């Protein structure tokens, strides 16, 4: 009994083995009426639903999905051509169910490929088959039939609903708008690939005729008598001895559900017809609407339209820019407001990193490159001179010096100019000098910064195509990069304010304490007025305090006066920053303090040029003597000049701020108080 059972068992096993052996050899023919339990090679987003529906992608963006028959197909290309045939026939049913009606991407392809590894392939228009490098390369050995729902001009697609035959790349050797031949009507009828309805496809290749036919039809129609595409193609150059057959689908920025319902394949004759009634059903989308609900839905739709419209106009307003014809040539330097808005998270206060005389500065990250930027928002009243200014700003974008903050570009809105700079992680120098929360800079760092700023200023004055005046040199306009190198920012911006003034007024732009008294006479900035400001900057870095500090006793309010007094008494080092605790190179400190005094000379002719300043700092020339003129380096003299000249030319003070300045100066001269002048960041405007 046991022996009988054993022999029966043995027989059963042999039979099973035989069957599976037959199966393994039988790889030139298969049929799937639905994919329930099918052992396909799937990757990417591809999956098989419980009902046997194969889904290659869902409606998420930038997806790929592949499904391959797991065993290779022998094409016998190495056999002599008389003894082999490359013919094949396949029949399948696809469905593309778009996320939104009438927009869908990108498509499905039937593919014959030497490998199932598409890990290097890209989604969107590359359909999960190729990438920009290998597209079109004859070493790919890939044959495909694409069902493409997006028009990709780079591949010379004819429309957004076409079927194409692809050899090694996505530029189809032949393609036609999707259509089928109706056997009953004896005419062609167009077919919409993204209708959401299943479409049956036949691909037949006859190796003797070297003819490839692709035929489409709605799911329940019989095979049309005429194919959509009948293309001469010799596959012997393309197919290798063993190949894999399968499907790829991809989505892009718009997406579609890509499905496969059934598939048959045959190397020895016509592919078996699919059992249409057995094919899995697509998931239901949309429901029928009861009439009483219809009104509600129409009302909701109406509301939606209003909200969408309002949102649209709100967004347009939100991102509205000013962009005139003459700006075309600055295209590459132009940033869209939307980009900057996103980069700075909507100019949130959290992103604010500074606010100076010219406007607020926001930190941001460019959405595309993740590059960190600083965006300066400069407000302006009129459009006058904007063209010249923008052209100047853009040409300044070409300024390249390791001690300048690179200007990346700009954007323009109504009453607002936005300048985009490289982000400087360490912020501005004044914080290190005056803010006890920041670490102290040692002398060698400070000296390095001074030399860097001097060389940047020399570049602006002497070394570029045209002279660029900075007009607002001061510690708060010197930014520190990640290596604590000083970089001069805000160059040329002061000019903007000049231009913005009406024809009757001249505005003096600069910051009190750094502002050349000569400017108050002539109204004109010069190279020499930049040197004056640089002098104030030198003293500020060496002494660790601002040029004007109204909170100090009368004789210490003006830094230059204090340093001058120390120098005359032969104790110039007493003026150095106490936070340095005497840790500095004495010669360098003396040189910087003296140079500060030289540059602060109220008479422009007696100040050194920036070229000379650099030579002194580099030790390539020795400092000249400082003239012992009583009036010079005396800020009271400077202020008297300012007020006296105002009176002489009978200036009417056009601007509240200006009147504030002058009144407080006068008050200060008479009574020794300067309370309304605590901010050294103020821009001085004087009307004429």
Ligand X SMILES: *[C@@H]1O[C@H](CO)[C@@H](O)[C@H](O)[C@H]1NC(C)=O
Residues that bind ligand X (CB under 6 A): 45, 58-60, 74, 76, 84-85, 120, 131, 133-134, 137, 139, 176, 181, 187-188, 204, 206, 211, 213, 226-228, 230, 267
Token readout for 163 is 């079927």
DSSP 462: I
| Smallest distance from ligand X to CB 579, Å | 54
The encoded tokens of residue 164 equal 């194409």
DSSP 352-374: EEEEETTEEEEEEE-TTT--EEE
Tell me the C-alpha distance between 342 and 365, whole Å. 8
* Cβ proximity to ligand X, 76 vs 641, nearer residue: 76
Closer CB to ligand X, 92 or 496, in the complex = 92
CA distance to 141, 197, 587, 670, per residue, from 284 (Å):
39, 11, 86, 89
Instruction: Give burial (CB, 10 Å; 0-12/13-18/19+) of 85.
Output: middle
Taking the C-alpha atoms of residue 170 and residue 183, their distance in angstroms, rounded to an integer, is 31
Provide, rounded to whole angstroms, the least separation between the CB of residue 47 and ligand X. Answer: 7
Is 377 annotated to bind ligand? yes
With vertex at residue 621, the alpha carbon angle to CA 620 and CA 624, rounded to the nearest 5 degrees, is 160
Nearer to ligand X, 268 or 568 (CB): 268
Of 399, 507, 377, 485, nearest to 441 (Cα)? 485
Smallest distance from ligand X to CB 426, Å: 37
Least distance between ligand X and beta carbon 87 (Å)? 7
CB closer to ligand X, 142 vs 572: 142
Q: What are the beta bridge partners of residue 377?
A: 360, 418
| β-strand pairing of 372-379 with 416-422 | antiparallel
- State which residue, 77 or 505, has the beta carbon closest to ligand X: 77
Neighbouring C-beta atoms of residue 640, cutoff 10 Å: 16
Residue 472 CA to residue 488 CA, distance in Å, equals 10
The candidate with the shortest Cα–Cα distance to 77, out of 241, 244, 268, 266, is 241
Q: Least separation, in Å, of the C-beta of 129 and ligand X?
A: 10
Q: Give the three-state DSSP class for 170.
A: coil
State how far the Cα of 540 lies from the Cα of 453, in Å rounded to an integer: 13
The answer to whether 47 touches 260, Cβ cutoff 8 Å, is no
Distance set, CA 387 to CA 324, 335, 391 (Å) = 9, 17, 6
d(CA 537, CA 532): 9
Contact predicate 282/95, CB 8 Å: yes
Query: How far is residue 95's CA from residue 49's CA, in Å, rounded to a whole number?
Result: 14
Residue of 148, 166, 422, 472 marked catalytic = 472
Q: Alpha carbon of 672 to those of 114, 554, 667: distances in Å?
A: 91, 7, 7
8-state DSSP, 296: H
Q: Classify 658 as helix, strand or coil.
A: helix
d(CA 39, CA 18): 20
Comparing CB distances to ligand X, the nearer of 85 and 634 is: 85
Judge whether 472 counts as a catalytic residue.
Answer: yes
Separation of first and last alpha carbons in the chain: 124
Other beta carbons within 10 Å of 420: 24
Asked whether 175 and 167 are in contact (CB, 8 A), the reply is no
Q: CB count, 10 Å around CB of 437?
A: 6
Q: Quick one: DSSP state of residue 177?
A: E
Residue of closest CB approach to ligand X: 120
User: Judged by CB, which is closer to ligand X: 52, or 227?
Assistant: 227
Tell me the binding residues for ATP.
377
Residues that are catalytic: 472
């Amino acid at each position: 009994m046991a022996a009988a059972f054993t022999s029966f068992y043995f027989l059963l096993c042999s039979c099973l083995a035989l069957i599976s052996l037959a199966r393994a050899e039988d790889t030139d023919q298969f049929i799937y009426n639905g994919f329930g339990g099918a052992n396909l090679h799937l990757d990417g987003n591809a999956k098989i639903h419980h009902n046997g529906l194969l889904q290659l992608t869902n409606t998420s963006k930038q997806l790929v999905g592949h499904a391959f028959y797991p065993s290779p197909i022998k094409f016998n290309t190495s056999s002599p051509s008389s003894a082999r045939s490359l013919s094949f026939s396949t029949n399948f049913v696809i469905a593309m169910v778009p996320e939104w009606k009438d927009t869908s991407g990108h498509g499905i392809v039937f593919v014959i490929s030497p490998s199932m590894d598409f890990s290097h392939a890209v989604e969107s228009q590359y359909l999960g088959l190729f990438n920009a490098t290998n597209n079109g390369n004859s070493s790919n050995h890939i044959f495909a039939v694409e069902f493409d729902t997006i028009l990709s001009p780079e591949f010379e697609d004819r429309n957004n609903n076409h079927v194409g035959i692809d050899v090694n790349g996505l530029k189809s050797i032949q393609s036609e708008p999707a259509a089928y031949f109706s056997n009953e009507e004896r005419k062609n009828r167009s077919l919409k690939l993204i209708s959401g309805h299943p479409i049956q496809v036949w691909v037949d290749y006859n190796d003797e005729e070297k003819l490839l036919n692709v035929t489409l039809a709605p799911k329940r129609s019989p095979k049309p008598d005429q194919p959509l595409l009948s293309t001469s193609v010799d596959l012997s150059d393309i197919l290798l001895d063993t190949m894999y057959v399968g499907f790829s689908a991809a989505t892009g920025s718009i997406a579609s559900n890509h499905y496969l319902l059934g598939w048959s394949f045959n190397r020895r004759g016509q592919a078996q017809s699919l059992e249409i009634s057995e094919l899995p059903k697509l998931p239901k989308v949309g429901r029928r609407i009861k009439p009483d609900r219809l009104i509600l839905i129409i009302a909701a739709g109406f509301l939606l339209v209003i909200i969408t419209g309002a949102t649209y106009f709100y967004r347009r307003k939100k991102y509205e820019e000013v962009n005139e014809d003459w700006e075309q040539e600055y295209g590459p330097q132009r940033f869209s407001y939307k980009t900057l808005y996103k980069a700075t998270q909507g100019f949130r206060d959290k992103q604010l990193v500074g606010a100076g005389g010219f406007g607020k500065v926001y930190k941001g990250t460019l959405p595309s490159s993740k590059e960190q930027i600083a965006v300066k928002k400069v407000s302006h009243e009129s459009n006058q001179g904007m063209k010249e200014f923008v052209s100047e700003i853009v040409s300044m974008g070409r300024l390249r010096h390791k001690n300048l903050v690179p200007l990346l570009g700009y954007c323009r809105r109504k009453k607002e100019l936005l300048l985009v700079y490289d982000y400087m992680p360490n912020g501005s120098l004044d914080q290190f000098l005056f803010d006890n929360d920041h670490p102290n800079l040692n002398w060698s760092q400070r000296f390095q910064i001074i030399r860097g700023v001097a060389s940047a200023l020399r570049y602006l004055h002497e070394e570029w195509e045209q002279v660029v005046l900075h007009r607002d040199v001061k510690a708060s306009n010197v930014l520190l990069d990640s290596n604590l190198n000083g970089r001069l920012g805000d160059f040329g911006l002061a000019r903007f304010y000049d231009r913005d003034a009406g024809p009757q007024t001249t505005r003096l732009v600069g910051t009190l304490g750094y502002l050349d008294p000569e400017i108050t006479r002539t109204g004109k900035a010069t190279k020499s007025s930049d040197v004056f400001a640089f002098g104030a900057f030198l003293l500020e870095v060496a002494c660790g305090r601002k040029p004007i500090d109204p909170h100090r006793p009368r004789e210490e309010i003006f830094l230059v006066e204090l340093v001058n007094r120390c120098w005359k008494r032969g104790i110039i080092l007493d003026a150095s920053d106490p936070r340095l605790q005497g840790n500095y190179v004495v010669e360098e400190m003396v040189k910087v303090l003296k140079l500060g005094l030289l540059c602060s000379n109220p008479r422009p002719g007696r100040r050194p040029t920036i070229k000379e300043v650099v030579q002194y700092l580099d030790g390539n020339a020795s400092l000249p003597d400082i003239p012992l003129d009583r009036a010079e380096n005396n800020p009271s003299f400077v202020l008297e000049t300012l007020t006296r000249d105002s009176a002489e030319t009978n200036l009417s003070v056009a601007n509240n701020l200006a009147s504030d300045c002058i009144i407080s100066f006068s008050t200060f001269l008479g009574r020794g108080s300067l309370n309304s002048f605590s901010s050294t960041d103020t821009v001085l405007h004087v009307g004429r």
